[in-house]
Chains A and B, each alone.
Chain A
Amino acid sequence: MTDTASKDTDATRPETAKRGVFASLELDMRLLGMIGAFILIALVFNSLTGGRFLTPRNVFNLTIQTVSVAIMATGMVFVIVTRHIDLSVGSLLATTSAVMAMLQTEWLLQVFGLPLGHPALAWLAIAGGLIVGTAIGAFNGWLIGYLTIPAFIVTLGGLLIWRNVAWYTTNGQTIGPLDETFQMFGGISGTLGTTWSWVFAVVAVGAALYAQWSARRTKQGHGFPVKPLWAEGAVGALIVAAILGFIWTLTSYEVPQRVLERDFEARGEVLPEGYTAAYGLPISVLLLILVALVMTIVARRTRLGRYIFATGGNPDAAELSGINTRLLTVKIFAIMGFLCALSAVVASARLSFHSNDIGTLDELRVIAAAVIGGTALSGGIGTIYGAILGALIMQSLQSGMAMVGVDAPFQNIVVGAVLILAVLIDIIYRKRTGAS
């Protein structure tokens, strides 16, 4: 054989021998593409609205509008990766929202005798909602995994069932106003303010750089090839700039003077001359960041995540490797149910009341977000950050068009077309790069 001589050199040659500047950065092309698409959308709407799209105020609103769908989209990634679908997330959101609204306005008051406005109300209601959401999700997973009813059918039925269970839970009434503590998760009524937002920024920058550094060190420790230092630095700088830019934008959105006056009056004080305050990072967005972080760790670093992707890639192989794929299905749908309940907290808190039609059509938005974010319906492929970016892109399109004055029906036509186009681009991209 002629290649015996090259064998030894082959095994030791660093893979970084000669590579272009771009390749050295080892950037995720799909991620770049999505960020590029998002920036393009933002710039186009910004020029169409004469600069109104990229104001701190609008960026703030955009992020808080995205949170609810984005949280559920992270769970939908797991569902779709394992070749299932969940059409019931919007209805599940409604049921859990109804349960939490009833808990904090009636049930907890009657059963535990807690007075309205008691500080524990919000937390007990949230705990109750999360338990109900997780249980319903697990039940769906059991029907799908153990009784082998297709997920499409179970969740299509669920779409009708849970929408109307929500209706009966509240007798079709709108429930509100919700507890003040509870409302902090909605967005505008719960923000970190300037100082804490910057504290968060510093912590986030530190954590991001530490993660990057420790990943590099682990690779070096095993003698695997790593990026050149300058490339590592460039990627790090980009991440830091993104975090700081985001927080800077949010802390530039100042609380209007009349709102401040009202707040001070409520406390029996007078607004000092020249006093200003900014909203900063909304708690709901912080929640989304936390969910994204946990879900990313689950996807990439835990056995559960590994089994989810293995099962999506080849269910038979997963089964033959000793993975209990039925129980796995229960876990995945339980996570989905938990996240629906979490989204219900954000969605109803943002409205400040529970309404019957809350979450209507969210299943489609959530699935679209995951798919635009690169989750393949054929299974085995998908990322958490992709789904969140997908949700952000859709929300930007929708809000942008609303600002420009596009009719609501036409907005939906565009969003539908974008979904199809995104999948087409993805298919072409995968064919070109040979990735499956």
Chain B
Amino acid sequence: MAETPLVELNDISIAFGGVRAVDHVSVDLYPGEVVGLLGHNGAGKSTLIKCLSGAYRMDSGEIRINGEKAEITNPRDARAYNIETIYQTLALADNLDAAANLFLGRELTTLTGLMDEGAMEAETRKVMGRLNPHFQKFSSPVSALSGGQRQSVAIARAVYFNAKILIMDEPTAALGPQETRMVADLIGELKKQGLGIFLIDHDVHQVKELCDRAAVMKNGKLVGGVVNVEDVTTDDLLGMIIAGKPPEGVAA
């Protein structure tokens, strides 16, 4: 690919106390591409993408967006670069309803400067209708929702605001088969619109199906490089995750 990457994560490192959670990792992402991140629990996947989403400040390394160096020191910076994130923990305010969470930090207001609750609820009903048509609990706090319903709200929030770069940290972990299908379709649709997507997922079959390229992390380091998903089998990917070695004959 000759065009400039949408995102370049170059030589990123971050440590917590003595733990090198991410250790000199480089990954890039092109428009209209889905890059999968795989790895065992505690491998450093979430930590890596949190450097991009502004939740953590990396110790060293650089982030480039559209070829230009980007300073992302907090979540507001990331949003300014049109980076949207679905966190593994979902990051929802449990005491607020779906609409309040969807628009948190970006509330719609009327001319008086007060929040336009009606408009926000109407928009929420629209976007949720596409993601999870069974969803009806618009006036309950999200603490009253099921795990999957909560996840739908988090996904809705990430896709509503016309992101250019989407980070999805295990977005379907709590979803039923039908809802997982809908998210897969959604990823395909967003890809067509030219978004770049980082997808963290433990399901190698899902990664094989949805992603263009994939990277495997182990103990904070990248196993080999980023591989083309077409060049590897699911067994190769599993081997990389478990053994921590790139399969023979695969160009990284």
CB-based contact B100/A320 at 8 Å: no
List B contacts of A323 (CB < 8 A).
Answer: 104-105
| Mask: chain A, 310-344; 1 = CB below 8 Å from B; 0 = not | 11111011111111100000000000000000000
**A25, chain B: closest CB distance, angstroms:** 16
CA distance A11 to B144 in the complex (A): 19
CB-based contact A322/B87 at 8 Å: no
Interface size class of A (residues with CB under 8 A): 35 or more
Interface residues of B in 51-99 (CB under 8 A from A): 53, 55, 74-76, 79, 85, 87, 89-96
CB-based contact A306/B104 at 8 Å: yes
CB-based contact B115/A320 at 8 Å: no
Q: Is A224 an interface residue (CB 8 A)?
A: yes
CB-based contact A309/B93 at 8 Å: yes
Interface residues of A in 168-213 (CB under 8 A from B): none
CB-based contact A317/B75 at 8 Å: no
Interface residues of A in 278-327 (CB under 8 A from B): 297, 301-303, 306-307, 309-314, 316-324
Task: Tell whether A302 pairs with B114 under 8 Å between CB atoms, given A313-B96, A320-B87.
Answer: yes
Task: Tell whether A320 pairs with B85 under 8 Å between CB atoms, given A310-B93, A313-B96, A380-B94.
Answer: yes
| Mask: chain A, 213-227; 1 = CB below 8 Å from B; 0 = not | 000001101111000
CA distance A316 to B117 in the complex (A): 23
CA distance A380 to B104 in the complex (A): 14
Residue on B nearest A223 in the bound complex, by CB: B122
List A contacts of B113 (CB < 8 A).
Answer: 302
Q: Interface size of B by Cβ–Cβ distance < 8 Å?
A: 39
Q: Is A434 an interface residue (CB 8 A)?
A: yes
CB-based contact B93/A222 at 8 Å: no
**B147, chain A: closest CB distance, angstroms:** 15
Partner of A303, one of B74, B76, B79, B107: B107
CA distance A301 to B105 in the complex (A): 14
| Mask: chain B, 37-60; 1 = CB below 8 Å from A; 0 = not | 000000000000000010100000
CB-based contact B129/A310 at 8 Å: no
CB-based contact A320/B91 at 8 Å: yes
**Number of A-B residue pairs at CB separation under 8 A:** 97
CA distance A316 to B91 in the complex (A): 7
Q: Is A10 an interface residue (CB 8 A)?
A: yes
CA distance A7 to B106 in the complex (A): 31
Task: Tell whether A10 pairs with B134 under 8 Å between CB atoms, given A320-B55, A320-B85.
Answer: yes
Q: Is A5 an interface residue (CB 8 A)?
A: no
**A309, chain B: closest CB distance, angstroms:** 6
| Mask: chain A, 226-258; 1 = CB below 8 Å from B; 0 = not | 000000000000000000000000000000000
Task: Tell whether A313 pairs with B93 under 8 Å between CB atoms, given A3-B134, A10-B136, A434-B144.
Answer: yes
Task: Tell whether A301 pairs with B94 under 8 Å between CB atoms, given A317-B104, A322-B105, A323-B104.
Answer: no
Task: Tell whether A436 pairs with B143 under 8 Å between CB atoms, given A1-B178, A297-B114.
Answer: yes
**B56, chain A: closest CB distance, angstroms:** 11
CB-based contact A301/B134 at 8 Å: no
Q: Is B239 an interface residue (CB 8 A)?
A: no
CA distance A381 to B92 in the complex (A): 15
Residue on B nearest A320 in the bound complex, by CB: B91
CB-based contact B129/A11 at 8 Å: yes
CA distance A316 to B114 in the complex (A): 25
Q: Is B141 an interface residue (CB 8 A)?
A: yes
Residue on B nearest A315 in the bound complex, by CB: B93
Residue on B nearest A217 in the bound complex, by CB: B118
Inter-chain pairs besides A7-B133, A219-B118, 12 sampled, C-beta below 8 Å: A11-B133, A218-B117, A218-B118, A302-B115, A309-B95, A310-B96, A313-B96, A317-B91, A317-B101, A318-B104, A320-B53, A322-B76
The 6 A-B pairs of least Cβ separation, nearest first, read A313-B95, A380-B95, A313-B93, A321-B105, A317-B91, A310-B93
A-B contact pairs, 17 of them (CB 8 A): A11-B136, A218-B117, A219-B118, A306-B100, A306-B104, A307-B105, A309-B95, A310-B95, A310-B96, A310-B100, A313-B95, A313-B96, A314-B95, A316-B89, A323-B105, A380-B94, A436-B144
